[in-house]
Amino acid sequence: MDMTGIPFATTDWTEVERTEHKGEQGLAYWRTRQFGSIRVRMVDYSPGYLADHWCSKGHILFCLEGELNTELQDGRKFVLKPGMSYQVSDNAEPHRSFTTTGARLFVVD
């Protein structure tokens, strides 16, 4: 990741427009900022959320609230709790997430 051409600025995430994204079950609400090729998001997952696809995009996720379960296509499973993160590169290991309780994440991809 090459972070160039981004002037210093702050973001008040409560002022960033929220968009709704349906999962196979539940909803995800994204607040998104784009900085060149870098997308930064605050994501809220509803309780019972299940992604509707296997994702191959690289991400860095940091769990702020709740609990997020991530399953890799090879069957491995991981749980993120507040203060934990995961990182995966593009096209490395397809993954999908779900939560029974709901979760809030900070995501860079």
Specify the pLDDT at position 1: 65
pLDDT tens, position by position, 37-91: 899 999 999 999 999 999 999 999 999 999 999 999 999 999 999 999 999 999 9
Helix (H) or strand (E) holding 88: strand 85-88
Task: Find residue 108's DSSP bridge partners.
Answer: 40, 60
CA separation for the pair 30, 79 (Å, rounded): 21
Taking only Cα atoms into account, the Rg of the chain, rounded to an integer number of angstroms, comes to: 14
Q: What is the pTM of this model?
A: 0.91
Mean pLDDT of 86-98: 94
Termini Cα distance of the chain: 9
Q: Which domains does the chain have, with CATH numbers?
A: 17-108 (2.60.120.10)
CA separation for the pair 64, 82 (Å, rounded): 5
